[in-house]
Structure 1
Amino acid sequence: MESGQRFEPEVLTVSVNETVTFVNESRDAHTVTAYEDGLPEGAAYFASGGFESESAARDDLAEGLLSSGDSFEVRFESSGTYRYFCIPHESSGMTGRLVVEE
């Protein structure tokens, strides 16, 4: 995450079983929240705050916020494309896409 309201890079490609660390480098608080309908079939759900569903993450925004300097790690065990967003800045277009390759 960069300053402002965007993920940097907006699209990231990694390998299966790779761990990605999201770091909030801005002064604003952000979340990393997967779109449930934006996950490969059978992939585990992820969201900062440890939520198990998109609705739970949206319902408890404060628990998932990453302050400046905070980080959140996700290990991607299934190949495919993952779509995610920042809850408070979703309407500003703060979304990202992660492609996991075999």
Structure 2
Amino acid sequence: MNRRVYLAAVGTAASAGLAGCSSVLNVFDDDDGPCAGDECDIGMSRNEFLPESYTASVGETVVWKNTSGAVHTVTALEDQIPDDADYFASGGYEDEETAIDAWHDHGGGGINTRETYEHTFEVPGTYAYICEPHVGAGMIGEIVVE
């Protein structure tokens, strides 16, 4: 086999095979973050919310999107949300204990790759939340509602 022809073919195949990879890598390198194009407000990498802190207006619906290959949750910390605020968690659970137990019992509240979760914030204040399966790795976020 002609070495130059072989190398040209391998180079072309490698370039074609990697062509789609740059867009996947750029999801997190892009200045607009993983939610460019208004598909979501907060993305999720392997172990972090992107951005970690998000500012919303009263009445705004915030959309999280799993932009990674891991399953995640959005689980509010009851003692770190405003007193008059509604509790929120992916899976629709009404309190933190139920949301966490559901995850550990059967993966309840899991957000799979490319799926979204949304919540409308009606009360101003700071809301802390976690990804239950990755909280040990520091996957913690906050919403500041003004």
> Is 1:87 aligned to residue 132 of structure 2?
yes
Number of aligned residue pairs: give it: 101
In 1, distance between residues paired with 2:63 and 2:142?
A: 14
Tell me the equivalent position of 1:72.
117
In 2, distance between residues paired with 1:14 and 1:66?
A: 22
Q: Deviations over 1:69-88 (max 9, x none)?
A: 11001000000000000000
Q: Deviations over 1:15-58 (max 9, x none)?
A: 00000000000000000000000101110000000000000001
How far did residue 3 of structure 1 move?
A: 2.4
Higher percent of residues as strand: 1
Letter aligned with residue 39 of structure 1: I
Identity %: 48
With normalisation by structure 2, the TM-score equals 0.68
Higher percent of residues as helix: 2
Is there any run of 5+ residues in structure 1 with no aligned partner, and where?
Answer: none
Larger radius of gyration: 2
Q: 3-state DSSP class of the match of 1:74?
A: strand
Q: 3-state DSSP class of the match of 1:64?
A: coil
Letter aligned with residue 89 of structure 1: H
1:31 to 58, 66, 73: 73
> Is 1:49 aligned to residue 85 of structure 2?
no
* C-alpha RMSD of the superposition: 0.7
Task: Spell out structure 1 runs of 4+ moving beyond 6 A.
Answer: none
- Tell me: higher relative CO, structure 1 or 2? Use CA pairs within 8 A at least 6 residues apart: 1
